[in-house]
Amino acid sequence: MEQNTNNYCVIMAGGVGSRFWPLSRTNRPKQFLDVLGTGKTLLQQTFDRFNKIIPSENIIVVTNADYKDIILEQLPAIKAEHVLLEPSRKNTAPCIAYANHKILASNPEANIVVAPSDHLIIKEEEFLRIVTQGLEFVSENEALLTLGIKPSRPETGYGYIQVNPEDMKDNLTKVKTFTEKPDYELAKVFYESGEFYWNSGIFFWSLNTIMKAFDQDLPEVNSLFREGKGLYNTEKETEFINNAYPRCKSISVDYGIMEKADNVYVICSDFGWSDLGTW
């Protein structure tokens, strides 16, 4: 597949994998394990998957400072300066803000896909087709796009995205509502209605659009990382980040931005997905 040099991927790999104990321990969480016996860890599979459509120099991994060495060992193709080290865990919004400002320093025209490092994806070609479509959509529209998975059962472990099926065009439509993990009865209603998709936690946006969204809904987070302008991609970046993170609030991008913004869309698909959250 052809690689667009304005397309970037941010892989979030900072989780401690507590739900996967005892196989997954704090010093080697599940994203660094070959959970499926394929010869590759979940992180390596994620990197290789995106690398088919995104150049390796445009792939960034955000992780906890403790995991730097494991990541460089598992991903020899990644540049050391593209492994962003969080000094403390502050949920997804700060880690995305950090990656945004890092990318801004080298390419303000970027379109970005953000994905967790520990997902199982069976139909890889279909997945990459959807990712390509998503990146194209956000490059042409001022939209925050999330990826919805067609549910195969009433599942209580995932969040849900509600849509209006009549408005769906090319698998894509505006989001009506986001809903937290439901109990079984509600999950059954969601599943049977045909209006709800699982929330995969995979996002697409242009750098320009996500920056505007941060300025609007999480300005205190964005201005904190903006203070480092001129320091990203220099030897002063680490010191700046280590000082900025403790001052940053802990908040998810779902709660901080996606649930508030009015330009949120979903691209719906079914490619054999699981977030491998627990056994």
User: What length does the chain have?
Assistant: 279
Q: What tokens were used for 178? A: 């986001």
pLDDT reported for residue 87 = 93
Distance, in Å, from the CA atom of 153 to the CA atom of 180, rounded to the nearest integer, reads: 16
Distance, in Å, from the CA atom of 114 to the CA atom of 209, rounded to the nearest integer, reads: 14
217: amino acid identity, one letter: D
Which of 68-91 are b and which e, b meaning 16 or more Cβ less than 10 Å from the residue's Cβ? eebbeebbeebeeebbbbbeeebb
pLDDT reported for residue 26 = 52
114: amino acid identity, one letter: V
Query: Which residues pair with residue 264 across a beta bridge?
Result: 144
Handedness of CA 114, 120, 123, 124 (dihedral sign): positive
pLDDT reported for residue 72 = 95
Q: What tokens were used for 124? A: 């890889």
Strands 160-162 and 196-206: antiparallel
- The pTM of this model reads 0.92
pLDDT reported for residue 18 = 43
Among 189, 168, 192, smallest CA distance to 266 is for 168
pLDDT reported for residue 272 = 61
Distance, in Å, from the CA atom of 235 to the CA atom of 65, rounded to the nearest integer, reads: 16
pLDDT reported for residue 3 = 76
pLDDT reported for residue 274 = 58
Distance, in Å, from the CA atom of 265 to the CA atom of 122, rounded to the nearest integer, reads: 24
Q: Please, what are the domains in the chain?
A: 7-147+201-265 (3.90.550.10)
Spell out the per-residue pLDDT of the chain, length 279, in tens: 567 899 999 999 976 544 434 444 456 677 888 877 888 998 999 999 999 999 999 999 999 988 999 999 999 999 999 999 999 989 999 999 999 999 999 999 999 999 998 878 888 899 999 999 999 999 999 999 999 998 988 989 889 999 998 899 988 999 999 998 999 999 999 999 999 999 989 999 999 999 999 999 999 999 999 999 999 999 999 999 999 999 999 999 999 999 999 999 999 987 765 555 543
